[in-house]
């Protein structure tokens, strides 16, 4: 199982993650958020983490 950790306070709302992955969306406050935080496979979420300019997206393997 993959767990997505999003440090929302660091998010600058650039939208890079939403462009890279359909699991990400922009919230009403102008910051992004993942639709799902626990997934079977990392999929495009790794691209979302890699393109984030402030590196506020972490991907961890949950137990």
What residue ranges define each of the domains in the chain, with the CATH number in brackets?
Answer: 2-61 (3.30.70.20)
Nearest-angstrom CA–CA distance, 16 and 46: 12
Nearest-angstrom CA–CA distance, 50 and 15: 13
Alpha carbon of residue 30 to chain centroid: 14
- Global pTM reads 0.93
List pLDDT tens digits, range 37-51.
999 999 999 999 999
Nearest-angstrom CA–CA distance, 6 and 37: 9
pLDDT of amino acid 2: 96
């Amino acid at each position: 199982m993959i767990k997505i950790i999003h440090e929302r306070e660091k998010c600058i709302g650039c939208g890079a993650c939403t462009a890279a992955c359909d699991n990400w969306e922009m919230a009403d406050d102008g910051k992004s958020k993942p639709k799902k935080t626990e997934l079977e496979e990392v999929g495009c979420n790794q691209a979302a983490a890699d393109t984030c300019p402030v590196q506020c997206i972490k991907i961890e393997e949950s137990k």
